[in-house]
Structure 1
């Protein structure tokens, strides 16, 4: 994988904000930045887009002076172009909203498909990041979640910020059989044993990475709550949330786990989705 950060640009305020984030990420990594624009029809490639790309490039230079910057203008649908470019990138960055092409990513399935099938982690710039907040890692114990943990530790080290590894659980997601209306699930199951098991899951998720990143301050946060609600609430105080591309035990036909999709659509800060190797 090349040391290149790519960013999708269409001239919208959202995509220009993504350029700022992508420039920061490239600078942190000592990587180059590639500004990418896709067009589906020749008429879409008018002189205005060259001005847009020039504006984006100047913005990146102002944000990170000395950054190596290249441009790619390619024919094709947004997903096809970005997916192809992601083969040669360490990180892809897109904005939450736009005009066309890269625009309206979150209004359809493009960003979900790119997060699920792209060849590098995808950072979606959305919400209002807390500049002094921690990096939030959503832990679920899945293979994709393990890959996300590695990315989160590296990103926290690059940014010089603490990491909050958060695992949310509840009895309704447990495989314990329900014995009837007279036996509420919180009576049937052993809550203390469940809590201990989820605590171990959380500890084991960060253990492979913690020793290798001693400079990263780590807080383990275990909550019994509704998973999506608790994680979305935690994103309000974070500068970035990192999640795996597929949750543990999700529907096999889903491109992303439901928690990952909820974060992409509703998180209060930027979201990075990391694919596992499963």
Structure 2
């Protein structure tokens, strides 16, 4: 029998990465999976150097590797103390953090990143590695910004797209596993082609029909799951989701919805959420 894929988390020694690692460890325990702490190691790039400096460069590389190994070991040690019985591995590979984590996401049940890493400026809402892994990773990619709430519903935003349906299935399974409610939000505006004198009422009715259709089989899949459907009248889907995320333990969204061009890997709502949501955000891509 094949081993269950691990939960992968990017670790670089920063406080936000450690918050993400703790969140990933709890996620792994909940899913009965192992945890793999990953660090992408950058080899320094050298041009032509004066004679006699090659040994110094090699020593610098060796010191940098030892520091990275010590950092990974320290992070894994803290997690083992906090999550007794959790199988924790470390993985350090040459290459940028983005490339290493995207590659690791191919064989992970989920990939977790901190909103900012050790290389980011503190005023940036999302670091470059987190941003790129969210765009290019496979399966669920979860962005954690600071200590995460431990109570609240799982929130998912839906439209009629395939990406939203995938996100809904993931969110329902997460809510059922956590024993919490699932809130399914659909943002709507006035209908474009009203058949009556009340386009706002028609827009709401269309939103309610979509929500009923999208959630119709959830009770069969998760009989004990409590599902709340929430049509929200707004012209700003991203703002509606950001505001609703304040009450959620996890906010889930597809990598893009009906509004995005197929060539765009991450939709505007997904991107806004990973930058501004008040809870961890799972962007659900197709599995590799």
Given the two structures, how large is their TM-score scaled by the length of structure 1? 0.87
Mapped contact 1:146–1:276 kept (Cα < 8 A): no
Task: Quote the offset at 1:115 in angstroms.
Answer: 2.5
Contact kept in structure 2, 1:96 and 1:105, CA below 8 Å = yes
Query: Which residue number in structure 2 is paired with residue 216 of structure 1?
Result: 225
Asked if structure 1 preserves the Cα contact closer than 8 Å seen for 2:114 and 2:130, the reply is no
Say if 2:253 is the partner of 1:243.
yes
Structure 1 residues without counterparts, runs of 5 or longer:
177-184
Structure 1 residue aligned with 2:202: 193
User: Aligned in 2, Cα 1:244/1:120: closer, same or farther, shift over 3 Å?
Assistant: same
Cα offset, 1:175, TM superposition: 5.5
1:63, CA displacement in angstroms?
Answer: 2.6
Deviation at 1:265, TM superposition (A): 0.2
1:238 Cα deviation from its structure 2 partner: 0.9
Aligned to 2:265: 255
Q: Which runs of 4+ in 1 moved over 6 A?
A: none
1:65 to 56, 68, 84: 84
Whether the aligned pair in 1 keeps the contact of 2:188 and 2:203 (CA below 8 Å) is no
8 Å contact from structure 2 (residues 23, 148) kept in 1: no
Task: Report the CA distance between 1:207 and its aligned residue.
Answer: 2.0
Q: CA deviation at 1:2?
A: 4.2
Q: 1:107 offset after TM fit, Å?
A: 3.6
What is the SS of the residue equivalent to 1:272? strand
Asked if 1:95 corresponds to 2:114, the answer is yes
Once the two structures are TM-superposed, the CA of residue 205 in structure 1 deviates from its matched residue by 1.7
Hey, what does 2:176 align to over in structure 1? Answer: 157
Q: CA RMSD in A?
A: 2.4
Distance 1:63 1:157, change over 3 A: farther
Higher relative contact order (CA 8 A, sep 6+): 1
Match of 2:94 in 1: 75
- Secondary structure, in 3 states, of the residue corresponding to 1:255? coil
Does residue 234 in structure 1 map to residue 266 in structure 2?
Answer: no
Q: How many residues align?
A: 264
Paired with 2:39 and 2:269, the residues of 1 have a C-alpha distance of 29
Q: Distance in 2 between matches of 1:203 and 1:60?
A: 42
1:19 and 1:217 mapped to 2: Cα distance? 29
> Larger Rg: 1 or 2?
2
> 2:138 aligned to 119, 136, 141, which one?
119
